Amino acid sequence: MLASDRNLASAYFALGQCKLFTGSIDETIPLTEHAIRLSPRDSQLGVWYQQIGWVHLLQSRSLEAATWLEKARNHTPALSIIRSLLASAYALNGETERAAVELAEAQTLCPDDRFSNLARLRASRYWGVPKIRALYEATYLAGLRLAGMPEE
């Protein structure tokens, strides 16, 4: 797609997502920021902010993650994954009460029970290559554990 249209913002976001899942995590934020610059009023902006927050979280920069994930939540408040990521970031920052509120909201917003425990969450999605799966365990899932999500 980029070969035919260098200004297709959604293609930069998608390429960033591919980089994330394949282990080239350092390339994700610049590609997503480029998408935002190309389309600063895009309807998917909340998801794009989420992707930047997610990368910060995986790279153990939970303060930066919380900032981006708050922007994502404010733009797209009904998306449960944003709420769960924010719960994890808050918990890793020691803000366990705020984390518990966001986790409860993720559970309420989600149409299934993936946020009921860590085992179900692990089984509910593709986590990328082993390097990225290890980062999820060390950050996102560790934060959700601190926020009160049980193992099973």
Summarize pLDDT for 11-42 with one digit per residue, the tens.
999 999 999 999 999 999 999 999 999 999 99
- Is 101 part of any domain? yes
Q: pLDDT tens digit string along 82-139?
A: 999 999 999 999 999 999 999 999 999 999 999 999 999 999 988 999 999 999 999 9
Residue 71 belongs to a domain: yes
The answer to whether residues 66 and 43 touch, using CB atoms and an 8 Å cutoff, is no
Write the CB contacts of 33 (distance below 8 Å, at least 6 apart in sequence).
52
User: 7: pLDDT confidence band, cut at 50, 70 and 90?
Assistant: confident
* Cα angle 103, 106, 111; round to 5: 145
Q: Is residue 86 part of a domain?
A: yes
pTM reported for the whole predicted model: 0.95
pLDDT tens per residue across span 54-69: 999 999 999 999 999 9
Quote the pLDDT of residue 5. Answer: 73
Structural domains in the chain (count): 1
Segments forming the whole domain that contains residue 128:
9-147
Report pLDDT for 1: 62
Decide if 50 contacts 85 (C-beta within 8 A).
Answer: yes
* CATH number of residue 62's parent domain: 1.25.40.10
Q: Would 3 be classed as within a structural domain?
A: no
138: in domain: yes
CB crowding 110-136: b at 16 or more within 10 Å, else e: beeebbeebeebeeeeebbeeebbebb
> What pLDDT is attached to residue 145?
98
SS3 state of residue 67:
helix
Query: Would the pLDDT of 78 be above 80?
Result: yes
Residue 125 falls inside a structural domain: yes
